[in-house]
Structure 1
Amino acid sequence: MENFIRQIRKSRNMSQQDLAEIIGIGVPQVSRIESGKTDISLSRLRQIAEALNCQISDLMTFDQFAGISISPDSNAVAVKMEGASEERMREDLPVFGTALGAPKVVEGESIEQTTLNSGEVIQYVKRPVILNGRADAYGLYVQGGSMAPVHLEGDMLLAETKRPARIGDDAVVYLRPKNEDDDGERARSVLVKRLVRRTASYVELEQFNPPVTFRIDATEILRIDRVMRLTDLIA
């Protein structure tokens, strides 16, 4: 199972021994987990995320998560079900077109922008069952490397408008178009970043590569959509 545990651990200046002691396993097992040679239970992922002070969704991409089978906890108990679910993943979740936009200069820093066209659906992908009936959810592909190693270029993210982004969430920040006649059916600039702080006058965001924390005036922002975590999709 591919993951970003090693990269995130090193960015925290933490050794394999440190991580092993915190989560209560041996160094060889940490090495196997980081190299993708063993499955990981959901409870173990939670332990690792807590030890590294990050979210479970930071440890792997949605595409990687969707393609694996997470092993159950060692003390898991089988529960008899009344019957198999008849719900199936419908291939009707829209993915909007994106492209790498011109950098936005904020306080002397060059911030990577994405051009997103919500009027252009480039494909429909399988909708997680938990999102059935959710017209507010959509997908988009990551452009550029400013959010690596958490989100790599080409990864697909799922975003929603139903739940507001909270501090610590990743978000799609829609910048207000200069043309106030914007009808919503054209490309506009967005920032795919982590939400650090939000006030009445500004929003503070973070990107990882290169690491920059910056502020955007609230008057420049049209809306903020929340990027969904893996735990949202398997709850």
Structure 2
Amino acid sequence: MSKLSERLTSRAAELNISQTELAARVEMSQPSISDLFSGLVASPRKWREIAKELQIDEKEMLALIQDAIVEAGKTQRVPRSISARSLHDDHEPNGTIDPTPMPPATGKPVRMLPVLGEAVGGEDGQYSFNGQILDYVACPPSLANVPNAYAVWIDGESMYPRYKSGELVYAHPGKPARRGDDVIVQVKPREEDMPPRGFVKEFVGFVGDKLVLKQFNPDGRIEFPRDDIISIHPITFSGKY
């Protein structure tokens, strides 16, 4: 059990607040609160609301969340409402991250990766890469030393059952894609002054002047002109937050 779960359990008992009651107060599901109290989740979205209900100082809550993320192996999602600067002060305005780990209060290195892209829906699972950083997540060990690594949330069912909606996938920008790799592809926009389009698909390869990708739901292939391709980044890690 993490220090976070111990502190939450202790405060709930002191205030005589059940998990069910706390879930109702902060408008979360009871299983989600149970996972948090048992240490299965390190970073709840509604951490401020939970801290308020349990009368825990926000700075203390942030420190507990940081410690819990480290203990969880740096694979837990950090809530949007946590200031990115409070976790990582050297991020660049264009969304790139300094790969140098920043030591937290525990003395253990933690690097945060940006979550890029805005899901716009559709059966092809298209994203709009407008440069906006939607969130920050703890970096998995496999990408700890990879400059400009980033993550994307899966939205929709176009790659189901390989990836489920809401799952995080992590990209390695410097690794070449091979046939059969899952990739995040950025494609030129259809109109000028629009952000690039992004797709999470399986890499098939280049055939003539076309890039060929595969999706699973519905099963089929998608092609783009080679000249329209901005980048192809292999997915090296994925998981539910």
Superposition TM-score, scaled by structure 2 size: 0.49
2:161 alignment partner AA: P
**Displacement, 1:87?**
8.6
2:119 alignment partner AA: A
Q: What RMSD over aligned residues (CA atoms) do the two structures have, in Å?
A: 3.1
| Count of equivalent residues | 138
67 and 121 in structure 1: CA distance in 2 versus 1, 3 angstrom threshold: closer
Runs of 4+ residues over 3 Å off in structure 1: 86-89, 178-182
168 and 88 in structure 1: CA distance in 2 versus 1, 3 angstrom threshold: farther
117 and 203 in structure 1: CA distance in 2 versus 1, 3 angstrom threshold: closer
Aligned counterparts of 1:162 and 1:87: Cα–Cα separation in 2: 29
1:197 alignment partner AA: G
What's the % identity of the aligned pairs?
Answer: 29
Q: Does 1:136 align with 2:152?
A: no
124 and 205 in structure 1: CA distance in 2 versus 1, 3 angstrom threshold: same
Aligned residues of 1:141 and 1:154 also touching (Cα < 8 A): yes
Aligned counterparts of 1:212 and 1:130: Cα–Cα separation in 2: 31
- Aligned counterpart in structure 2 of residue 160 of structure 1, from 157, 168, 172: 172
Q: Does 1:93 align with 2:120?
A: no
- Aligned counterpart in structure 1 of residue 200 of structure 2, from 183, 187, 192: 192
Counterpart position of 2:236 = 228
- Aligned counterpart in structure 2 of residue 115 of structure 1, from 127, 133, 136: 127
97 and 219 in structure 1: CA distance in 2 versus 1, 3 angstrom threshold: closer
Counterpart position of 1:126 = 138
Q: Which structure carries more relative contact order (alpha carbon 8 Å, separation 6+)? A: 1
Q: Does 1:214 align with 2:222?
A: yes
1:93 alignment partner AA: L
196 and 87 in structure 1: CA distance in 2 versus 1, 3 angstrom threshold: farther
Aligned counterparts of 2:118 and 2:197: Cα–Cα separation in 1: 10
Question: Secondary structure at the residue paired with 1:143?
Answer: coil
156 and 87 in structure 1: CA distance in 2 versus 1, 3 angstrom threshold: farther
Aligned residues of 1:101 and 1:189 also touching (Cα < 8 A): no
Question: Secondary structure at the residue paired with 1:90?
Answer: coil
Structure 1: runs of 5+ lacking an equivalent: 1-65, 69-85, 104-111, 231-235
Aligned residues of 2:160 and 2:216 also touching (Cα < 8 A): yes
**Displacement, 1:89?**
5.7
Structure 2: runs of 5+ lacking an equivalent: 1-72, 76-105
Question: Secondary structure at the residue paired with 2:159?
Answer: coil
